[in-house]
Structure 1
């Protein structure tokens, strides 16, 4: 009974986050870990969808920046392979 409730909370969290513009898989995992608290978190986190175009564009650019892969020449790249000299 408790397991089914926790799974339902995870699904509801993912759906709420997707409707508000969030990444549903990430929020599904958050819902799995936090249960009913995940639903509240998905509700109270600011929506990524905004009626104000400047706010929406700013939030979208932040998301795009996070989604960009690290470039090979980037100095912030962490690698276990030694550099060829």
Structure 2
């Protein structure tokens, strides 16, 4: 019974954090460690979603910049097949 409640708390923590703009996997792990306290912490954290259009666009640009740099460093897979075949 305790394990089910703890799992439910971790899922609720992840959902609440995702709705507030947080990283859901990170908050799932926090909820798994903290249990019911994780829900309270997720509710009390400041929302990362902004209603101010300028702030939202700035955060989106920052996220695109980080994602772009990660994609540039992506390793390529080498195939053993020849293009002739």
TM-score interval, smaller chain? 0.5 to 0.7
Deviation at 1:50, TM superposition (A): 1.1
Gaps of 5+ in 2: 71-85
Give TM-score, length-normalised by structure 2.
0.66
Number of residues of Structure 1 aligned to a counterpart in Structure 2: 72
Flag the structure with larger Rg.
Answer: 2
Q: Matches of residues 3-14 of structure 1 in structure 2 within 5 Å?
A: 3-14=3-14
Higher helix share: 2
Aligned-residue RMSD, C-alpha: 2.2
Deviations 1:10-42 (A, max 9, x none): 000000111111110000000000011100111
Gaps of 5+ in 1: 70-85
Give TM-score, length-normalised by structure 1.
0.66
